[in-house]
Structure 1
Amino acid sequence: MSDRTILIVGTYDTKEDELGYLAQVIRGQGGGVLTMDVSVLGEPAMPTDYSKHQVAEAGGASIAEAIAGEDENLAMQIMARGSAALARRLQAEGAFDGVIVLGGSMGTDLALDLCAALPLGVPKYIVSTVSFSPMIPTERLAADVQMILWAGGLYGLNSVCKASLSQAAGAVLGAARAVETPVRDRPLIGMTSFGKTVLRYMVPLKPALEARGYEVAVFHATGMGGRAFEALAAEGAFAAVLDFAPQEVANHLHGSAITAGPDRLTAAGRAGVPQIVSIGCYDLIDLVGWHERPEGLRDRPAHAHNRLITSVVMTAEERRGMAKALCERLAQATGPVVFLLPLKGGNEWDREGGPLSDPEALAAFVDAMRAECPANVTLVELDAHINDPEFSEAALQVVDGWIAAGLLPRA
């Protein structure tokens, strides 16, 4: 008997040989297989466990409707919707332990929806001819999805693409065997931050919160980290969030490729999760370090963190816009929100006399926060820098107050 079952998804009318090879490798390693056909026009030579008709029905349509639309994009969206819904139901029923989806650009579009529908901890592998392409938006990536480039795999089996397919088959089966799925034995607090050189509050806060009985997960707020943070907040995984590094909001507003998408700083609020929010690196726009800077940002003070990421400083007017954007998002929150506003700065480089210090622009942001702060947000001003001990102490005071008031579970 197989110890783990892998759901294999693809267009069995055109890629049956490749999908069959994946199944062969998985079975050869002692795994079990379920198959799902997401094709539209053709029929597979052999029946699959879940047919294209079942997929379309799960998407609220039929194959006949998908064909009648005479639009391959709309047809694939029907199949994407259906495969995501069907996979979500099957996983909840315990039918499979991991999923692997095979495709070109069409199949990848579908795969992104399917994987995003599955919870964190379910191994998700996309084998694609467009893996890692800039055409794939970060906001569509599941928090723990894995991608493998399907080299030489556009049409038919060969020794080149078998190298990719066999690795992918082994990877998803190995992941399904090895994965330690999250156990909610302690309330989880989500925190956003950067490295310890620029934001340091996580160093005292993590052990202090753990001493209170909470589990703490710190997310690197550089695009994908914020995306994972938002996805888990939307699932209701967090008892509370300490969202102290909202810089991805600025990145998105200014068109940076380093973005968590347009919904950053919204999921916890929609879910009613208690939030403490602050200004870690609020004044910076992250850019891909090896890209040429946009014309309007070329002469700005900047910090090259490494060859991958460079952060440029926002003007006073841009910081006013940032304050407005933060407040607009927080105004939608249905749970308690406290905004900690350290008046002496939001990252190690902007301290008085620091290389990116701009006191006038900081003052403009502070004034805008005071003016724009919505009624549902408690604004707490601190005569401190975000990296000072006073900031972390203030955050813990809020947490302790919420525990005492019953807004946070006692761990």
Structure 2
Amino acid sequence: MFDFPVAASSARAAYVAGTFDTKARELFYLRQCLDKLGLRVVTVDLATSGKPSPASVHPREVARHHPEGEAAVFSSDRGSAVTAMALAFERFIATRRDLGGLISAGGSGGTTLATQGMRALPVGIPKVMVSTMASGDTRPYVGPSDICMMYSVTDVQGINRISEKVLANAAHALAGMIAHPPPQSQATKPAIGLTMFGVTTPCVQAVTKALGDEVDALVFHATGVGGQSMEKLADSGLLAGVIDVSTTEIADQIVGGVLSAGPGRLDVFARHALPYVGSCGALDMVNFGGWDTVPERFRGRRLVRHNPNVTLMRTTPDECRRIGDFLAAKLNAMRGPVRFLIPEGGVSAIDAPGQPFHDPEADRALFTAIEQQFRGGSDRQLLKLPHHINDEAFALALVAAWREVAPHTVRPLERPHATHR
């Protein structure tokens, strides 16, 4: 057995959460492993059956954190009961001041319950989920969080020679993370989020190079969960602002692609007055999987095989107007300083003369919709630039815009020619 330095375990506890009416043996095995390592353990029952509970925290205590009280959790419909308990657990776990880490084990229902609480925790708090659902599409469970998913191999049903190895490894992993937290970052530069897509890479690389001495640049791949991850960090107070070059996830949300970040994209900036610099990166495209996955209604559209697993579809003028409407409404709701830059020369590497998605009419529809609805102000500006998004001059304009709104004083950079609104 490893000798973990757990002197601080009295202050920080390992939480073991799950449905103790069906998974008590497995969950108590996790507790046993953690106990042996010297950690203080709190067991939390998420069962909705109403049966007596052997856990430290009774399901009714968790259920009381539901906005409508425990009656909303203990209903006759299992589906709604699980949904309500997951919400209650999300609220409950956020109140625990002694939480050092969280672990659970279960099938689809238990995974849904536990991971909703895990996703509500800040990035960096250890989270481990042993699940039968971990070998497959884990996005519904992990989302934008740093949850460690471990496939259970056998069903989470009893202790056997396989399950005891998997569960013990999971418990030891959590114990290691609790006992050996990463050292506090010594970085003094403000952290900012940037969104990048393959077709906007030159722009983002130029921006990060220009700001290298001023910021800690955190780049997020705008694949839906990438935008969600960036905004989760912003919501957690871990970003000083963003340079949102690649708002492409909005196109997938509006048109029906597979890389949407959901209808809540950009809402974090209405909750927090963070500096926001944005652009139209890759709003010329909607994403699907392989060629055969493109929905029948889109088969006659302008399509590009990006690679064997990704097919791109050009947005139409009508879709671009709708995307522009969505963007303008979100920009108008932002509480902090705003700079939104429009690259009139094209919004992606394949939206340029001679490239397959070059469509000036569609781009104009996008730009006009944003311009007509954007509400400007002393610290809210819309800038139209005669550059392609991957031109160096456009990247430098983004840098200049960031320096204007950044929460610290730096030497201003001369702005390339632009029209303001």
Q: TM-score range by the shorter chain?
A: 0.7 to 0.9
Call closer, same or farther: CA 1:322–1:265 in 2, change over 3 Å. same
Tell me: CA distance 1:182–1:341, structure 2 relative to 1, closer, same or farther (3 Å): farther
8 Å contact from structure 2 (residues 5, 179) kept in 1: no
Q: Does 1:169 align with 2:171?
A: yes
Show the counterpart of 2:416.
none
Structure-2 residue corresponding to 1:306 = 307
Question: Which is worse superposed, 350-359 or 368-377?
Answer: 368-377
Structure 2 partner of 1:270: 271
In structure 2, what is the equivalent of residue 129 of structure 1? Answer: 132
Q: Secondary structure at the match of 1:70?
A: coil
Residue 92 of structure 2 corresponds to 86
Structure 1 counterpart of 2:41: 33
- Give 1:78 shift: 4.4
Give the counterpart of 1:152 among 151, 154, 166.
154
* Residue number among 179, 199, 202 corresponding to 1:200 in the alignment: 202
- 1:117-155 C-alpha deviation (Å, 9 max, x unpaired): 2111112122223336659647x7242122223333253
- Which one of 386, 389, 392 corresponds to residue 392 of structure 2? 389
Shift of 1:85: 2.8
**1:121 and 1:182 in contact (8 A); partners too:** no
Counting only pairs closer than 5 Å after superposition, residues 8-19 of structure 1 correspond to structure 2 as: 8-19=16-27
Selected match of 2:29 from 21, 25, 44: 21
TM-score of the superposed pair, with normalisation by structure 2: 0.85
CA distance in 2: counterparts of 1:310 and 1:29, whole angstroms: 50
Change beyond 3 A, Cα 1:181–1:343: farther
Change (3 A) 1:74 1:388: same
- After TM superposition, give the deviation of residue 108 of structure 1 in Å: 2.2
Q: C-alpha separation between the residues in 1 aligned to 2:183 and 2:110?
A: 27
User: In structure 2, do the counterparts of structure 1 residues 232 and 249 end up closer, same or farther at CA, with 3 Å as the change threshold?
Assistant: same
Matches of 1:304 and 1:178, distance apart in 2: 46
**Mapped contact 2:101–2:178 kept (Cα < 8 A):** yes
Per-residue deviation at 1:351?
1.7
1:19-52 CA distance string (max 9 Å, x none): 12222333455544321122232224xx433232
Give the share of equivalent positions with the same residue, in percent: 31
> In structure 2, how many angstroms separate the alpha carbons of the residues matched to 1:64 and 1:262?
30
TM-score by length of 1: 0.86
Cα pair 2:26 2:157 within 8 Å, conserved? no
1:245 alignment counterpart: 246
* C-alpha separation in 2, matches of 1:355 and 1:187: 39
CA distance in 1, matches of 2:184, 2:314: 38
Deviation by residue 1:315-369 (Cα, 9 ceiling, x = unmatched): 2221122111111221211222111001101111112112322223223322333
Which runs of no fewer than 5 residues in structure 1 stay unpaired? none
Question: Hey, what does 1:49 align to over in structure 2?
Answer: 56
Which stretch shifts more, 70-79 or 314-323? 70-79
| In 2: Cα distance, 1:355 partner to 1:375 partner | 34
The alignment yields a C-alpha RMSD, in angstroms, of: 2.8
User: Shift of the alpha carbon at 1:205?
Assistant: 1.6
Cα deviation 1:64-96 (Å, max 9, x = unaligned): 7744x3233343344333332332222xx2x23
Match of 2:374 in 1: 373
Q: 1:258 touches 1:288 (CA, 8 Å); kept in 2?
A: no
Unaligned ranges ≥5, structure 2: 411-421
Match of 1:359 in 2: 360
Size of the alignment, in residue pairs?
398
Match of 1:141 in 2: 143
- Cα distance in 1 for partners of 2:270, 2:110 equals 33
Q: What is the identity, as a one-letter code, of the residue corresponding to 1:201?
A: C
Q: State the 1:114 CA deviation.
A: 0.6
Residue aligning to 1:111: 114
Shift of 1:230: 1.7
Q: Quick one: distance in 2 between partners of 1:185 and 1:301?
A: 47
Which AA in structure 1 matches 2:394? F
> Are 1:187 and 2:190 matched, yes or no?
yes
Pairwise CA distance, 1:410: 4.0
Residues 52-67 of structure 1: pairs in structure 2 closer than 5 A: 52-59=59-66, 66-67=73-74
CA distance in 1, matches of 2:258, 2:367: 27
